[in-house]
Amino acid sequence: MKKFIEGKAYVLGNDIDTDQIIPAEHLVYSLSDPEEKKNYGKFALSGVPKNAAGLPDGSKSFIAEGKFESEYTIIVGGKNFGCGSSREHAPACLKIAGIQAIVASSYARIFYRNSVDGGFFIPFEIQDQLVNDTRTGDNLIIDVEKESLTNKTTGKSYKLNSLGEVIEIIRAGNIFEYARQSGLI
């Protein structure tokens, strides 16, 4: 596990659902085939309405044309991030696209658990409505151990909610590695 996560923010609003994260028509690719798997990154967040992303001019997409990895590594979301169906493809496609962390006000429970259990990325929560203070493209740095976020563009710092017991699963890499390391399996 990295001590610091640093990169550009991609800002989204409230109630970003799993159909917006990866629309159902793109669930046809194999996650075990390395070439097909790239399509999950290519179509990540393709269901989000353009006006829902906090883009200054609305011209930049999460994934550039012809790419499967994003220039953004941290998503900033509002309330109820990952609501909707329980598809595990949603956190997987964000990881394939290069997301290392999401910072949201709250998560849909199953999306949160899928993110942690699969070892896809770290889902941080924050009390503040970070979406109001952050713009897409801002440079952020997360200190994982101190559970803090600094917006290097604005100079503002924030305290993240504690990851609690899930930090052990995150450190292990996923729920199965945690179970092996803990002697549970």
pTM of the entire predicted model: 0.93
User: Residue 75 pairs with which residues in a beta bridge?
Assistant: 10, 102
Q: Any idea what the Cα angle at residue 73 is, between residues 102 and 78, rounded to 5°?
A: 30
In tens, the pLDDT along 7-46 reads 999 999 999 999 999 999 999 999 999 999 999 999 999 9
Q: What is the pLDDT of residue 151?
A: 98
User: Residue 142 pairs with which residues in a beta bridge?
Assistant: 5, 149
CATH number of the domain that 15 lies in? Answer: 3.20.19.10
Number of folded domains in the chain? Answer: 1
In tens, the pLDDT along 105-156 reads 999 999 999 999 999 999 999 998 899 999 999 999 999 999 999 999 999 9
Q: Look over the chain and give the mean of its residue pLDDT values, rounded to a whole number.
A: 93
Domain span holding position 149: 4-181
The SS3 call for residue 93 is helix
